Amino acid sequence: MDQLRCRARDLGIVVGPLSTGRHNGITDVAGILVGHTTVDDGADLHTGVTAVVPTQLGPDRRTLPAAVYSGNGYGKLVGSTQVDELGVLESPIVLTGTLSVFRAADALLGYLMDQRPDGLSFNPLVGETNDGHLSDIRRRPITDEHVLAALTGASGEPPAEGCVGAGTGTTALGFKAGIGTSSRAVPVADRPATVGALVQSNFGGVLTVLGVPLPADELIPDADRTEPPGNSCMIVVATDAPLDARQLGRLARRAVFAMGRVGASYSNTSGDYAIAFSTAPPDQPLIPDGEINPLFAAVMDAVEEALLNSLFTAATTTGVGGHTSHAVPHGTVIRRLSAAGRLPAQA
């Protein structure tokens, strides 16, 4: 089985009872595109840009209902206070490395100005995690061209995962991590709805799969245990369910809660953020709060699986200073889950 492209479900690991969308990714929400630019010189640079582009934003619709939840605000999420204040998203969402976030925000601003030559104010939304364990972040290698390539190259195909885009240099739960995505299709208030999640994983803790702890020092006992700086997570949640900003804030909180399912430590320096937005047409009646529980379940499961995908699709990487971040050993995970009764016994 290809270590580079193996998702949780390829290993028989199924999170929750809900059905996934067609591709089990955030692009299962109609109109959501994802683009990556990867910057990897094979030595000291392992970073990049990931863009989530809602096509519903355009000349006929300048904003979408949205909310941001800060589980721990030790990070940089440019534009978040205006989303909090007004409850709307007015730009694509761009993710990158910590010290490149400001250059990425400026590039996204230029993109928005080109899209709206008559505009006088813009709110680019750009987040980050610290990939300095594997990449020389002080070089701030991200350029306008990298950001524009991710934006203009975004597509509705299944997003690439693992060591790609903003996940090229990230580490989580003691293993090489990266970008992950998942989706759920659920009936809500007598109508179908899709929830999609995309994560940039870079946080500490003990990997936990289906309730089974899988400590890195046990799975790879001789690995480099240098603690990466930062330790953060960015989560993007998109849904076509008609929700307002207040309700989307409730979804965003549950997205951060889902990190606990995979063993997150929520440490002092872990900037854990979730952004949730709805693409539903503005004339649709809102989902009543009393019928919102299926969406909560969908968010929790989709984020949990996206986090697992971000690890299982990543490859061992050696970067700046000779630091190595090791991929999760799939075979060992399967054997331990089988022994714990979470998967069928392996022959």
- Answer yes or no: is 2 within a domain: no
- Answer yes or no: is 243 within a domain: yes
- Answer yes or no: is 151 within a domain: yes
The pTM assigned to this predicted structure is 0.97
- Answer yes or no: is 213 within a domain: yes
Q: Report the pLDDT value the prediction gives residue 344, as an integer from 0 to 100.
A: 77
Identify the DSSP state of 89: E
Q: Computed over its alpha carbons, how large is the radius of gyration of the chain?
A: 19
List the structure tokens of 104.
């990425």
In three-state secondary structure terms, 298 is: helix
Q: Give phi and psi for 196, each to the nearest 5.
A: -125, 145
- Answer yes or no: is 232 within a domain: yes
Contact 214, 343 (CB under 8 A): no
Contact 149, 169 (CB under 8 A): no
Q: Report the pLDDT value the prediction gives residue 222, as an integer from 0 to 100.
A: 79
Q: Amino acid identity, residue 30?
A: A
Catalytic member of 131, 136, 240, 272: 272
The residues, any chain, with a CB within 8 Å of residue 70's CB and separated by 6 or more, are 77, 80, 272, 273
Q: Sort strands 171-172 and 175-176 into parallel, antiparallel or unpaired.
A: antiparallel
Range of the domain at 125: 8-339
Q: Which neighbouring-strand residues pair with 61?
A: 58
Q: Give phi and psi for 155, each to the nearest 5.
A: -140, 170
**pLDDT digit string (tens) for 197-238?**
999 999 999 999 999 999 999 999 877 666 665 579 999 999
CA 55/CA 303 separation, integer angstroms: 22
CA 183/CA 237 separation, integer angstroms: 9
Contact 47, 296 (CB under 8 A): no
- Answer yes or no: is 65 within a domain: yes
Question: At 306, which CATH number?
Answer: 3.60.70.12
- Answer yes or no: is 54 within a domain: yes
Catalytic member of 182, 183, 201, 232: 232
Each residue's pLDDT expressed in tens, for the chain with a length of 347 residues: 345 569 999 999 999 999 999 999 999 999 999 999 999 999 999 999 999 999 999 999 999 999 999 999 999 999 999 999 999 999 999 999 999 999 999 999 999 999 999 989 999 999 999 999 999 999 999 999 999 999 999 999 999 999 999 999 999 999 999 999 999 999 998 899 999 999 999 999 999 999 999 999 999 987 766 666 557 999 999 999 999 999 999 999 999 999 999 999 999 999 999 999 999 999 999 999 999 999 999 999 999 999 999 999 999 999 999 999 999 999 999 999 999 999 976 54
Question: Quick check: is 272 catalytic?
Answer: yes
Query: Domains in the chain: how many in total?
Result: 1
Tell me which residue has tokens 């050993």: 329
Catalytic member of 135, 270, 278, 325: 270
Question: Quick check: is 183 catalytic?
Answer: no
Tell me which residue has tokens 């270590």: 3
Taking alpha carbons only, the member of 61, 264, 307, 301 closest to residue 161 is: 307
List the structure tokens of 95.
């993710």
List the structure tokens of 291.
């019928």
Q: Report the pLDDT value the prediction gives residue 347, as an integer from 0 to 100.
A: 45
- Answer yes or no: is 72 within a domain: yes
Question: Quick check: is 278 catalytic?
Answer: no
List the structure tokens of 243.
């929700």
